[in-house]
Every structure is written in C-alpha cells, then in structure tokens.
C-alpha cells in the first residue's frame, strides 16, 4: 500500500469554498451544543429527584426516537432539498430545545415532560443527520472531497471536545436550564449558517413511494460488499463497547481509581479524536479501508488498559489510542462513502449506516451489567477488547474492504 504524507497547501484548503465554510459552521456549532446538553439534561433529571433508572429511561427514549426516525430522514434527504431539510430541522431543534430549557429554568419541568421533549428533539435530529452528512459532496469539488471530510470531522470533534468541557462548567455556574439554552442557541446559529448556503434546491422527481425509495437505498447498501460488511462490523463494535464504556468504565476507573480519573480518561479519548483528525489531514493512504481497519483495531487497547491497570497513566494511553484509531477509521470510512455512493442516494445510505451501527447499542447497555457480574468485570473487558479489535483485523481478509482505493486527487 502507498500513502502520501504531503500536507495540503493553503490554496487547496476546502475552506476556500463559501458553502463549505457555512456547512462546517453549522455542523460544528450544533456539535458544540449537542455535547453540552446530555450533561445538563442528566443533572436536570437528578435535580428533580430522578433515579438512575429514570435517567436511563429518558436517554433510552431519545436514542429510540433517533433510530426509528433516521431511515425517514434518509429518504427525505434524497427526495427534497437537503438545504431546506437542514435549515428547517435546525430551526425546529432550536425551538424544541429552547422550550425544554425554559421549562427547566422556570421550574415547571417534570421528568415525563423532559422525556417527551427529549424524544421530540431526537426525532428532529434524526431527520437532520443524513442530509447534513451527505451535503459535503455537494459543496466541494471531487478533488477536495478527502480534505473536506477530514477537516469537517476535525472541526466537529474539536467542537464536541469543547462542549464536553463546557457542559459541566455551565451547569455549575448557571444551572442546567441555561446550559440547555446554550444548545438551543447553537442550533439557531446552525440554521442561519445553513440558510446562507447557495446550493441547488431542486431534487430529481421521485415516482416511487417512500418505501420504494427506502428499498432502493437498501439495495444500494447491499450492492457494495465493503459497505454492508463494515456496517455489520460497527453493529458488533457498539453492541460490545457501549456497555463497557458507559457502564463499566465509570465503575472500574471512576470507583477503582477515583471519580476524577474517569473524566481524565474521557478527556484523553477526545484528545485522541482530535489528533486523529489532524493526522488525516496529512496521511492519505491509497487503500482507505484496509488501513482504516488496522487503526480501528487499536480501540481494544482501552478496555485492556482498564482491565489490567490500577493506575491512571496506562488507562489514559489506552483511551487516547482508542480515540485516535477510531477517528482515523471513521474519516477514511466517510471518504469511502462520499467517493463511492451516488450523490442522489447518499442520505439513504447514511441513514442505513447510522441505524445499522447503533441499533444494537441499547441491547449492549442492558446486558452488560448481568453479564459482567456473572463473568467478572476484568474478564468481560478482555472479551470486549478481543471482539472489537479481532473483528476489525478480520475485516482485512474481506476482499471488498481490501480492494477499495482512494480516488486520485
């Protein structure tokens, strides 16, 4: 395999395209807010006397609404103007989240009302995401696509990292309601940015029904062996890793070493994402997915470090390498999709990618407790590491993954 490590020149930066600047302004802004809200929402529920189980139900409602609605968002993103979908859903998100924030600030929120409004926010976000992900290919020429995907991912990761750090500070300083209101403001900024994009509004006429369009999107996924194979691989990753990350991590690291230690581990994970994004601005392998899954195999180092170490530094290193490897793979994965899938089917393909990847996450969260108690926390963390790293390495043997090459720039 070959790779170039020459940095892109300033003149080739995708930021020279005004539509791309507006796109990343909107996506980075909403990523910032989306990182703040889960922290603020958790404290809002707890401040109302909610239990851990009730908090889990609120989060499950949001996740379920997202998964159920994503396929509809993919179909609509290929049937109607993606620009209108993006600016419309961003504006509605600003209203819904702003209303949720107002109920918390005014002291009239209840746990059921938070669950309902959170579910509605999840529905609107799901309608937005496939269109937003497909838009990159529309706003930059083909020769800038790889750099645009890498830069967009880097900016969104940076915004999320700032949001995670800012969320706790805002909740402590001004309360959870005002912290949620900041998320509403970020969606309003995103709506304005999307409205400023100058892209075609018209979509080709669709004679098929929405179910027919959905079936066409599924056929497009199945037409590319590398695509459906790695979606299944992602399903396996989230089935095993979601519980290890969200349930075992806070217990093994937070209770075993110190609660602040789990926060440091998550910060190291986000630092890995950030450095991985910078790395991909320079590293351009010819065989995108073969190289990507090698980096993805690094994700197993985080659960291994949690299982074997009772000190913080090895865990921080494992978390950093997990984030780094996952980010490199994800960028190469996004480039492959943008490069290989026809523009008129991108939203539907992205919706299947999102649903296929995350549909098993609630099951993983539900099962990790009893399974880990039965076999032992450390043993289960080793199993998780073997599955997520082993599945990634095994992907290299799949011809569709091995053969896909980056388009020349």
| pLDDT tens per residue, range 164-221 | 777 767 877 888 889 889 989 999 999 999 988 887 655 555 556 767 777 788 888 8
Which is it for strands 284-285 and 3-4: parallel, antiparallel or unpaired?
A: antiparallel
Cα gap 261→255, rounded to integer Å:
9
Instruction: Give the separation between CA 389 and CA 393, rounded to whole angstroms.
Output: 6
pLDDT of 186: 92
Both structure tokens of 385? 């590491």
Q: Supply φ then ψ for residue 4, to 5 degrees.
A: -110, 145
This prediction's pTM: 0.72
Phi and psi, residue 3, nearest 5°: -150, 150
As a whole number of angstroms, the distance between CA 66 and CA 348 comes to 15
User: According to the model, what pLDDT value does residue 7 have?
Assistant: 43
Digit-coded pLDDT (tens) for 25-49: 998 898 888 777 776 777 787 788 8
d(CA 375, CA 212): 46
Domains of the chain: 12-203 (1.20.1250.20), 209-409 (1.20.1250.20)
pLDDT at 206: 57
DSSP 39-101: HHHHHHHHHTT--HHHHHHHHHHHHHHHHHHHHHHHHHHHHS-HHHHHHHHHHHHHHHHHHHH
pLDDT in tens, the chain (409 residues): 334 443 444 446 888 889 999 999 998 898 888 777 776 777 787 788 876 566 666 766 777 777 778 777 777 777 777 888 888 889 998 999 999 999 999 999 888 888 888 888 888 887 887 877 788 888 888 888 888 888 888 888 888 778 777 776 787 788 888 988 998 999 999 999 998 888 765 555 555 676 777 778 888 888 999 999 999 999 999 889 988 887 788 778 877 787 667 768 877 888 898 899 889 888 889 888 999 999 999 999 999 999 998 888 999 999 999 999 999 999 999 889 888 888 778 878 888 887 887 777 777 777 777 888 889 889 999 999 999 999 999 998 888 888 888 877 6
CB 85 within 8 A of CB 127: yes
pLDDT of residue 95: 94
Phi-psi region of 203 (alpha: psi -120 to 50; beta: other; left: phi over 0): beta
């Amino acid at each position: 395999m070959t790779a170039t490590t020459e940095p892109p020149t300033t003149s080739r930066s995708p930021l020279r395209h005004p539509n791309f600047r507006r796109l990343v302004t909107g996506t980075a802004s909403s990523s910032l807010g989306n990182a703040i809200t889960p922290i603020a929402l958790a404290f809002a529920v707890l401040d109302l006397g909610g239990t851990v189980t009730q908090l889990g139900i609120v989060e499950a409602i949001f996740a379920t609404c997202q998964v159920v609605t994503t396929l509809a968002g993919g179909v609509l993103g290929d049937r109607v103007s993606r620009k209108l979908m993006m600016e419309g859903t961003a504006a509605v998100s600003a209203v819904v989240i702003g209303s949720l924030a107002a109920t918390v600030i005014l002291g009239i929120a209840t746990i059921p009302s938070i669950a309902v409004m959170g579910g509605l926010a999840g529905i609107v976000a799901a309608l937005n995401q496939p269109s937003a992900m497909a838009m990159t290919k529309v706003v930059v020429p083909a020769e800038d696509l790889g750099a645009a995907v890498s830069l967009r991912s880097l900016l969104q990761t940076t915004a999320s990292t700032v949001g995670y750090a800012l969320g706790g500070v805002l909740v402590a300083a001004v309360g959870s309601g005002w912290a949620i209101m900041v998320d509403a403001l970020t969606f309003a900024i995103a709506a304005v940015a999307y409205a400023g994009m100058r892209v075609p509004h018209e979509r080709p006429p669709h004679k098929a029904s929405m179910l027919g369009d959905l079936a066409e999107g599924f056929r497009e996924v199945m037409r590319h062996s590398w695509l459906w194979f790695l979606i299944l691989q992602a399903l396996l990753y989230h089935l095993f890793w979601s519980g290890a990350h969200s349930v075992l991590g806070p217990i093994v690291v937070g209770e075993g070493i110190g609660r602040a230690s789990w926060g440091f581990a998550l910060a190291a994970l986000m630092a890995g994402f950030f450095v991985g994004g910078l790395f991909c601005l320079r590293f351009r392998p010819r065989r995108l997915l073969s190289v990507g899954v090698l980096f993805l195999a690094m994700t197993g180092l985080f659960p291994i470090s949690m299982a074997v170490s009772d000190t913080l530094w090895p865990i921080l290193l494992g978390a950093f390498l997990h984030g780094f490897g996952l980010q490199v793979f994800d960028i190469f994965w996004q480039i492959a999709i943008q490069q290989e899938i026809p523009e008129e089917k991108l939203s539907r393909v992205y919706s299947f990618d999102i649903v296929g990847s995350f549909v098993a996450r609630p099951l993983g969260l539900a099962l990790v407790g009893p399974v880990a108690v039965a076999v032992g926390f450390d043993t289960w963390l080793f199993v998780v590491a073997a599955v997520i790293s082993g599945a990634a390495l095994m992907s290299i043997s799949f011809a569709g993954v091995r053969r896909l090459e980056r388009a020349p720039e």
